[in-house]
Amino acid sequence: MRRIRYQEIADELRGLAAAGAAGSLLPSESELSARFGVSRVTVRRALEVLRDEGLIAARQGFGWFVGGEPVRQRLEHLGTIEDQLESQGRRAERKVLEFAFVIPPEHVRLLLGLQASDQVLQVMRVNLADGEPFAIVTVWCPAELGQGLSRADVERHPFYELLGLPLRGATQTIGADAADPAEAKLLHVPVGAPMLRCRRVTTDTSGRPVLVSEHVYPAHRTEFVVDLPLAEPSLTPAGLRLVR
């Protein structure tokens, strides 16, 4: 029996989706239209077949991507997302892109309480889940705490283990942003795609800030989960702060 063209395209896209990691982007509708020599209406109908099967999904600003469980991070305790991924049976990796002692950005200097001439260890890495990038992480710590650390150390172990200090906890702030060209290239998303930007300030038991980290996540792949204790009823989400 002769198959309708969109069904044939859906068959080919089904193989493409099966070969891709969860969260990886598919070619755009215009690219698929050119590849198959059909209209975007036909391509979209084929994509909708796969969406109805739960194989792919779409979000504004990203286009179509391979479906699957998002990367989830629980925020009730100070820990690493790698530990949480591995507990879910997923493969976590780090790729260090920068490792250097530098004069920090002004906002980092102020958060760490440093003088204008003080240096920090700055480490920038990409985190991957099952081979697919899901975060860009930049970490700063005072130079004296970073002495003796190597690129291999920070690629294999979290800073919490390397500093050799008892830690009290951290304050974490999460906001919305858009991917700039460098972030888009590293995370395999379109420029301007919605992102979640997280800043964490970690303190030792005396309350001194010892780490500042900034994490950039593609919004279509990431969820933050917080269990809220029973409290007085409120229409406002806990922790909400208005910014200008």
In order, the DSSP letters of 161-203 are HHS---EEEEEEEEEEEE--HHHHHHHT--TT-EEEEEEEEEE
Highest mean pLDDT (candidates 32-36, 83-87, 103-107): 103-107
Q: Please calculate the CA angle 112-113-116 and round it to the nearest 5 degrees.
A: 105
Highest mean pLDDT (candidates 1-15, 75-89, 111-125): 111-125
Mean pLDDT check: name the lowest of 49-58, 109-118, 139-148. 49-58
187-196 confidence digits (pLDDT tens): 988 888 888 8
Q: Is 160 left (phi over 0), alpha (psi -120 to 50) or beta?
A: alpha
CATH of the structural domain 71-225, one choice from 3.90.190.10, 3.40.1410.10, 3.40.50.1370, 3.40.50.720: 3.40.1410.10
213 pLDDT tier (thresholds 50, 70, 90): very high
* pLDDT at position 27: 87
133-182 confidence digits (pLDDT tens): 889 999 999 999 999 999 999 998 888 889 888 988 888 888 888 889 99
Residue where the block lists tokens 């593609």: 218
pLDDT, greater one: 21 or 52? 52
% of residues, the chain, pLDDT over 90: 36
What does pTM read for this prediction? 0.71
Q: Is the pLDDT at 121 greater than 90, yes or no?
A: yes
Q: Is the pLDDT at 112 greater than 90, yes or no?
A: yes
Q: Give kind and range of the element (H or E) at residue 30.
A: helix 29-36
Query: Mean per-residue pLDDT for 112-137?
Result: 92
* pLDDT at position 1: 41
26-50 confidence digits (pLDDT tens): 888 898 999 999 998 999 999 988 8
Q: Give the 3-state secondary structure of residue 221.
A: coil
Domains 5-66 and 71-225 fall in the same CATH topology? no
Q: CB within 8 A of 201, min separation 6: which ones? A: 111, 170, 171, 209, 211, 212
128-139 confidence digits (pLDDT tens): 888 888 899 999
Q: Give the 3-state secondary structure of residue 150.
A: coil
* pLDDT at position 26: 84
Domain made up of 5-66: CATH architecture: Orthogonal Bundle (1.10)
* pLDDT at position 238: 56
DSSP assignment of 53-99? TTSEEEETTTEEEE--PPEEEE-SSS--HHHHHHHTT--EEEEEEEE
User: Which residue from 197, 190, 193 is spatially nearest to 176, judged by alpha carbons?
Assistant: 197
Q: Domain ranges in the chain?
A: 5-66, 71-225
